[in-house]
Amino acid sequence: MATTTLIGATATELARLVRERGASAVEVVEAHLRRIEAVDGTLNAVVALDAERALAAARRADRGGDGPLRGVPFTAKDNFEAAGLEMAIGASERVGVVPETDATAVARMRAAGAILLGKTNCPPYGGGIETDNPVYGRTSNPYDPARTCGGSSGGEGAIVAAAGSACGVGTDSGGSIRIPAHFCGLAALKPTAGRIPVTGVIDDEGQIGALGDPRTQVGPLARSVEDLALLLGVLAGPDGRDGGVPPVPLGNAAEVDVRGLRVAAFAAYDHDEADAATAAVLDRAAAALHEAGAIVEEVAPPAGGHDITIEVWSSYGGDLDSLGLYRLLRRWDAYRAEMLAFGAGHDVLLSPVSAGPAPPHGALSGHTGVDPTSFTTLHSLTGWPAATVRCDSSPEGLPIGMQVVALPWRDDVALAAAGALERALGGWRPAPL
């Protein structure tokens, strides 16, 4: 089968092709390895390629297996442990560190038949709004290499969007999955907090966890909403090691009726407002959900979520005493309660992911004052599930995604509404790279 057909297929389509013997797993993996070779000199997205072991896994997959992702190539952000692959996480002091085990998310992907191609670039220790570090350098956007892919799951966003990987896993504590997905035109999900174990995900303090930072979640990036639902089914559920993951059953997005869903749409939050092109896409997205039978009103959620997040970020410097931290957490609790009261009248929150499309490299760093996270951080504070789906393009041809948020544990509702937008407005489109 032609390489262009294989790399343009979704993860769901590839799994079906391999299962029905329309293509071999070896053909699928070889096509994606060739694509990485063709594009990664421009993107600099893949920092640890595992080609030989990927091909060996593909040969095993062709001999049998019945996992739902059998033969599907994937990548993982470099803050996930993957046995035998260097895990520098963009930090000079970690060069040469090679884990002996897989993170739970990586292990579950492999157990489902998916084939790890390699690890992808991120800011140092996996946190930041632009993907650049002193070990591997900067990752570029496949729609315009002069622009950022965002962060911190920027390498994942770039290589999946450029069709070098069918799907991937990243982490998100304030927008780190959603912003790269928006900048790179992908579908993605920050799931409900505690839906997917974070075992084997590392930052500068070591293993992350629900008490250390309840905002940080593992989530999938892909090129279709259908893929997100498939991957969520593989990744979700307790692993016996992460104490922050309760045994809450998954709903089925395919069984959610969009008709009658109450949608709150808003183009401004706290200190940010969508630019004209993004606001126009939001209007089209709101109209699409209305056409699908949802009840849409223009109303914003309670203010202050981004301001509280800025205080949380500021506390990392060590200047906040224990009483100050305690009071900050109490304000966080109060905000979560306020959001739940707002959510009693709304099933879905629809907004931009960020105020505009991907800016040039460097625009989100230093003292420019440009913060792309005003629309995303509130949903990390609440822990609500937040999907991203491409809905249109800017005048320059850059992707513009929308953020589709549902109430806690209703990841199925977020995915159902995102799927309705994808069907109406087009979703992922190949990059010109």
Consecutive 10-residue runs of the chain (433 residues): their mean pLDDT? 88 98 98 98 98 98 95 98 98 98 99 98 96 98 98 98 98 98 98 98 97 95 98 98 98 98 97 96 98 98 95 88 95 98 98 97 72 96 98 98 98 98 97 87
Angstrom distance (rounded) from CA 129 to CA 127: 7
* Dihedral over Cα of 97, 98, 101, 107: its sign: positive
Q: What is the pLDDT of residue 271?
A: 85
Burial environment of residue 3 by CB neighbours within 10 A (0 to 12, 13 to 18, 19 or more): middle
Considering 140, 153, 165, 176, which one is annotated as catalytic?
Answer: 176
Longest Cα–Cα distance in the chain: 63
Q: What is the pLDDT of residue 365?
A: 62
Q: Amino acid letter at 428? A: W
Candidates 37, 131, 156; CA nearest to 361 is 131
Helix axes 411-425, 276-291, angle to 10 degrees: 100
Helix axes 411-425, 225-235, angle to 10 degrees: 160
Considering 152, 153, 224, 394, which one is annotated as catalytic?
Answer: 152
Q: What is the pLDDT of residue 367?
A: 47
Considering 77, 153, 224, 380, which one is annotated as catalytic?
Answer: 77
Known catalytic residue at 380:
no
Decide: 71 and 61 in contact? Cβ < 8 Å.
yes
Q: The tokens of 130 are what?
A: 């632009």
Question: What is the DSSP pairing of strand 73-77 with strand 167-172?
Answer: parallel
Q: Amino acid letter at 115? A: I
Tally Cβ neighbours within 10 Å of residue 408. Answer: 18
Known catalytic residue at 176:
yes
Decide: 175 and 217 in contact? Cβ < 8 Å.
no
Known catalytic residue at 119:
no
Decide: 301 and 269 in contact? Cβ < 8 Å.
yes
Candidates 234, 178, 126; CA nearest to 377 is 178
CA contacts within 13 A on the Cβ side of 79: 34
Q: The tokens of 104 are what?
A: 């739970």
Coil, strand or helix at 338: helix
Q: What is the pLDDT of residue 368?
A: 56
Q: What is the pLDDT of residue 317?
A: 84
Q: The tokens of 98 are what?
A: 């090679």
* Dihedral over Cα of 109, 110, 115, 119: its sign: positive
